[in-house]
Amino acid sequence: MDFLRELRWLLEQVPRGRVTSFKALADALGDGKAAKAVYVTLKESKLPGWHRVTRSDGGIPFHEAAGTLIQEGIRLSDSRVVGFQGIKFTDFRSQRPLALLRREQRSLASRVVLEDRLEKPGEVGGFDLSYQGNRAHAAAVVMDREGVEVLDEVRLTTIVSFPYISTYLSYREFEPISLCYGRLRCRPSLLLVDGNGILHPARFGIACLVGVRLGRPTIGVAKSLLLGRVDSGVKQGENSQIHHRGRLLGYAYRPGRGKPIFISPGHMISPSTALELVKGLCKERVPEPLRLAHLACGQMRRAAVG
DNA sequence: GCGACAG
DNA sequence: ATCTTGTCGC
């Protein structure tokens, strides 16, 4: 989905003399959770009609918009639209593209294999990204199964067009990850991705997409909990199950004294095997291939700045 | 029924 | 994820 194009299309529908809100635009895109992404996008690229977008209470988010709004006959009082409810436009024509993406996730989720299809004990690849606006610095680090020796590494920079929206992360980060994977000299037999696998409302987080699209065993490792409930008080070095709607979706694992990480299968691996493999790779809080990929991304970004 | 929500 | 200084601790 082309996020900018969809947003441009919706903004064209707001008539002169009317306004709409970030939330209303997000709803029209198919998911109200995208309201912040709409805000960030409009803040960075002022599409035609950007000045007609307000907060949910009619507040003006961009001070520069006030003059144009008044010219269009909209009355403002204390940086808020007077009679907001009356002139608020919500009657959008839209295919609701985010709802389509959610449907796609639910459909692809049926292809996820939750049994161990791990080939020979081979290499493990970690993938991570860091950003400068819509510039994504991506890195892949391949190590041995114990996370001791680096066997291969790839770094690249690309432009991403899809914003960060919780539960749609894969539509932002899959392409850079896929590009990294394609440039590796030796293909790892197991992939680690920053984010969730089946620990996702559609049971299809980014680790699942990476696994299914690349046809490789994949595990998702997240640093904060997206959904589900964890038994409170996980002791260090130990783990506890994460259930959601009666299903075991992953584990919370506390490598040290700090916060836990959240492990879930992406593809071709069982929850328990995913947990054990990640445990074996955790020298620090995050498994080594992911930690080194994270460091590589940070270096790239700093090098691009200075 | 409503809110929360990976990077 | 990013914006950011010094500071506490192993």
Model confidence pLDDT, tens digit, residues A251-293: 999 988 888 999 999 999 999 999 999 999 999 999 999 999 9
The region that residue A15 occupies, defined by phi over 0 for left and psi between -120 and 50 for alpha, beta otherwise, is: beta
Distance, in Å, from the CA atom of A128 to the CA atom of A64, rounded to the nearest integer, reads 37
- Is the model's pLDDT at A121 over the cut of 90? no
Contact of A176 with A160, CB cutoff 8 Å:
yes
CA at A222, C1' at C6: how many angstroms apart?
29
Q: What is the mean pLDDT of chain A?
A: 94
CA at A237, C1' at C7: how many angstroms apart?
28
Name residues 207-236 of chain A with a Cβ under 7 Å from nucleic strand C.
223
Q: Is the CB of A84 under 7 A from strand C?
A: no
CA at A259, C1' at C8: how many angstroms apart?
18
CA at A34, C1' at B1: how many angstroms apart?
21
Q: Which residue is nearest to nucleotide B6 (CA to C1')?
A: A195
Sort A44 into a burial class: Cβ within 10 Å, 0-12 / 13-18 / 19+. Answer: exposed
Locate all alpha helices (DSSP H) within A143-205, ordered by sequence: 170-183
Contact of A175 with A129, CB cutoff 8 Å:
no
- Give the residue among A70, A82, A89, A86 at the shortest CA–CA distance from A19: A89
CA at A235, C1' at C1: how many angstroms apart?
28
CA at A119, C1' at B3: how many angstroms apart?
43
Distance, in Å, from the CA atom of A65 to the CA atom of A178, rounded to the nearest integer, reads 40
Q: Give the model's pLDDT for residue A306.
A: 57
Model confidence pLDDT, tens digit, residues A84-120: 999 999 999 999 999 999 999 999 999 999 999 998 7
Q: How far is CA A30 from the centre of its chain?
A: 17
Q: Give the model's pLDDT for residue A200.
A: 96
Contacts of A291 (CB under 8 A, 6+ apart): A126, A283, A284
CA at A174, C1' at C10: how many angstroms apart?
37
- Give the residue among A251, A277, A247, A245 at the shortest CA–CA distance from A264: A251
Could you tell me the domains of chain A?
3-104 (1.10.10.10), 121-305 (3.30.2170.10)
Q: Which nucleotide is nearest to A128 (CA to C1')?
A: B7
Q: Which helix (H) or strand (E) holds A220?
A: strand A218-222
**Residues near chain B (nucleic strand), Cβ < 7 A?**
A 33, 128-129, 131, 164, 166-170, 194-196, 200-201, 205-207, 220, 222-227
